[in-house]
Structure 1
Amino acid sequence: MKFNPKKRTSNVILLISAFVIVSLILWNTNIFFEKFKQEERLKIENWAAAQAEIDNAPVDEELGNLPVQILQNNTSTPMILVTKDGSIKTHNLLVDADLDTIQIRKKIKKFKNENEPILMRYKGEELATLYYGNSEVLNKLKYYPVALLLIIFLFGTVIFFFFKTNKASEQNKLWAGMAKETAHQIGTPLTSLLGWNEILKSENINPDITKEIEKDIDRLQTITERFSKVGSVPELKPHDIVSETEKAYQYLKRRSSKLIHFSFSSDINELSVLLNLPLYNWSIENLVKNGIDAMKGKGNIAIQIEQSGNFVNVMISDTGHGILKSDYQTIFNPGVTSKKRGWGLGLSLVKRIIEEYHKGKVKVLSSSKEGTIMQISFKAVV
């Protein structure tokens, strides 16, 4: 197979760049999260000190406004205060310690996992333990990297599919333009050949010669019809896939080297499938020719048809050098070929004809050093 090393290198660079960017985003977000968490702990420590001062100050002692302001300003951080005698007070929680002690215990366990508890002291004496959780802002910040990565992923997906669709549209236009132009170019000399053949008939030339010319003209007309249908929606009609496949098989067998041994078998006698015959025959021809090329003009070609439920499978096998498993999908891409002078369009055309036009499926069923089996699948007409 032929691959573009520059394209592969650029893809690797893009992948590494994306990984570095994402890593920097996560690293910076983590640093910001830790700093914010430290600042929040400092606020809670100040809150605990203010609460201890208010609770333990002598009745006749006048307190300043600062402790009160510290307590009033903290309205977002959930806290549970457990005193030395076991009494519980909650702050910024939608629960009541007296009514739901089980829930309080669960909250305490959760808060201990989120933040280290703070021991409340007043004049060196331990008074209580303060358990606190992350504030709403901190919780949102914790999930910010995930949301950011999701947005980046969705944005990248949209861009990828946009360019992929745009590229596919351009390729389709190119395919259609080349195909129709080819059909047009063949059509002009074909008309002349028809006229010259009629002149030869009138000159009493050996009939066998004119018959052979007619066969070649028919062949050129078939090729022209095939190319003219690429890029347009072909007409599909019910046909017996067994008999039509056998006709294509017989045609290829008569025109192939004697060094190629052909065989045909089917476990069904007749089964209707929606087909466009010129395009279907073209697909069979491309798969068989690929097999012959893989065998270097010498070996066995077998076509087998079998029914599987509502589907029918047409399998073309050869005794060539095989295909690497990693290349099972790429061989259907335009331009991918193992032949030095190949254009890499045969299997791409087959995939387009079978999957886009006939709504079927074509794939590499199996492959090894002993040969390859290609499979075409269609839904039977009920």
Structure 2
Amino acid sequence: MLILIAIIIGAASFQYTNWLARKMAEEEHKSVAMWAEATRRLTAPVEDPDDNMSFLVSILEGNTGIPIIWTDSIQNIISAANIEYSEKRKDQVLQRELAKMMHDRPPIKIVISEHEVQYIYYRDSKTLQNLKYFPLIQIAVIGLFVTIVYFTINSSRKAEQNQVWVGMSKETAHQLGTPISSLMAWVELLKTQDIDEKLIDEFEKDILRLEKITERFSKIGSKPELKIDDLRKTIVSTVTYLQSRTSQKVQYDMQFPADRSYITPHNAALLSWVIENLCKNAIDAMGNSGKITLLLREEDNQIYFDIRDNGKGIPKSQFKTIFDPGFTTKKRGWGLGLSLAKRIIENYHQGKIFIKQSEIGKGTTFRIILKKADFFQQKTKSIIN
């Protein structure tokens, strides 16, 4: 496609340049012919003065490119050429054109006699105007082509990244399947032994968690099913799981009413993974000791979900790059967590995720914005109608 566009641009530029060259050649031929005739008349004896005047008129009327208005000393129009007008509006158009010509450049003065002076006003021909603007047009076309190339290459790169994401995710889900099955079998075996049931329950919870993780990875690359559910329940479930598996020095403060629902279409498994990832990043930023505050509120047709920590903070220069694949400040890790979180929120849930604020040494607040269920349903209905 890019090669085809380049060929079209090249062919169009070539045709246009040839057209300009032909027009200029025609004008030059006419100019040389006029010069030759004028030279002949100057060298020949003057037999009839009116004949020279007729020659001047024929030059002006024979001109087919340059717009010209010929006036007397008091600016009464004698003749005009290469100006489009209708008979009804002839005087109005010519007077307007004359005013423009007088403003643009001084006229050519023709001394007919001691008592008679005439003037020729003119402006650039269409050929000259095209020649002036041709470089600008070429620059604009080249700029457009470069822009198309940039976006095409960028889209291609993103598509390639997406393929890598999907491939890695599917392979991870596949590889996790076998050990999870083995763990389930071992748990069933442990149930027959004299082992504390609480330990077995915890093992089962972890295996269920691994199954959820496998489900998340298997869904990367395909559009997940969004269910209209309470976001608060998803948050509480995720935080409850994390609380029993993180340091007791880490406090979770859920600042939203327990009896209120925040209904939004979402995939609980994927959204839980996002919350988990943000909380784990917060724990790393706090050095396994600090407070994570989770806030929920509704406004208009949106739900705002903030996750705030009192960790080391993030420099403003990293606010956007932190979501790029491969970006990480940790010694270990691939830098895929926040990139996947952004993909889950923005691509799958049509929401937004960004750093609301961060201050070095004081902490960071991540904000997630999702659509409320009623707004989502109204939008869906309007699209169907």
Tell me the matched-pair count.
342
Q: Which residue of 2 aligns with 1:144?
A: 134
2:279 is aligned, of 263, 276, 288, to 288
Structure 2 residue corresponding to 1:305, chosen from 283, 296, 304: 296
- The match for 2:13 is none
Q: Which runs of 5+ in 1 are unaligned?
A: 1-28
| Partners of 1:116 and 1:126 in 2: CA distance | 18
CA contact (8 A) 2:282 2:309 kept: yes
Hey, what does 1:107 align to over in structure 2?
A: 97
Partner of residue 258, structure 1: 248
Give TM-score, length-normalised by structure 1. Answer: 0.78
Q: Deviations over 1:73-129 (max 9, x none)?
A: 411211112222432132222348996655444323422454442222458997222
Asked whether 1:76 is paired with 2:68, we answer no
Matched, 1:368 2:352: no
Identity %: 39
1:329 pairs, out of 313, 320, 332, with 320
1:340 and 2:331 are equivalent in the alignment: yes
When residues 294 and 145 of structure 1 are mapped into structure 2, their CA distance, relative to the original with a 3 A threshold, is farther
2:226 corresponds to: 236
Q: Please show how residues 1-382 of structure 1 align to structure 2 within 5 Å.
A: 59=48, 70-71=59-60, 73-88=62-77, 89-95=79-85, 103-121=93-111, 127-266=117-256, 269-369=260-360, 370-382=362-374
The CA distance in 1 between the partners of 2:85 and 2:202, in whole Å, is 96
How far apart, in 2, do the equivalents of 1:186 and 1:76 lie?
Answer: 79
**TM-score normalised by length of structure 2:** 0.78
Which letter does structure 2 place at the counterpart of 1:146? Answer: L
1:81 and 1:333 map into 2 onto residues whose CA distance is 69
CA distance in 1, matches of 2:317, 2:290: 25
Provide, for residues 289-325 of structure 1, a one-character-per-residue CA deviation record: whole Å limited to 9, x for no partner. 2222222333321110000111111111112333333
For 2:162 and 2:98, the matched residues in 1 are separated by: 64
Larger displacement relative to structure 2 (230-239 or 292-301): 292-301
Any idea what SS the aligned residue of 1:93 has? coil
Unaligned runs of at least 5 residues, structure 2: 1-16, 375-385
C-alpha separation in 1, matches of 2:115 and 2:359: 81
> In 2, distance between residues paired with 1:345 and 1:112?
68
Change (3 A) 1:352 1:116: same
Change (3 A) 1:202 1:253: closer
The structural deviation recorded for 1:335 is 0.9
Aligned partners of 1:310 and 1:379 also within 8 Å: yes
1:157, distance to aligned residue in structure 2 (A) = 2.4
Deviation at 1:176, TM superposition (A): 1.1
The answer to whether the Cα contact below 8 Å between 2:355 and 2:366 also exists between their aligned partners in 1 is yes
Output one character per residue of 1:10-63: Cα deviation in whole Å (capped at 9) or x when no partner: xxxxxxxxxxxxxxxxxxx9xx9xxx8xx99x959x79x96xx99xx7636766
Answer yes or no: is the 8 Å Cα contact 1:90–1:97 preserved in 2. no
Return the alpha-carbon distance in structure 2 between the equivalents of residues 150 and 99 of structure 1.
37
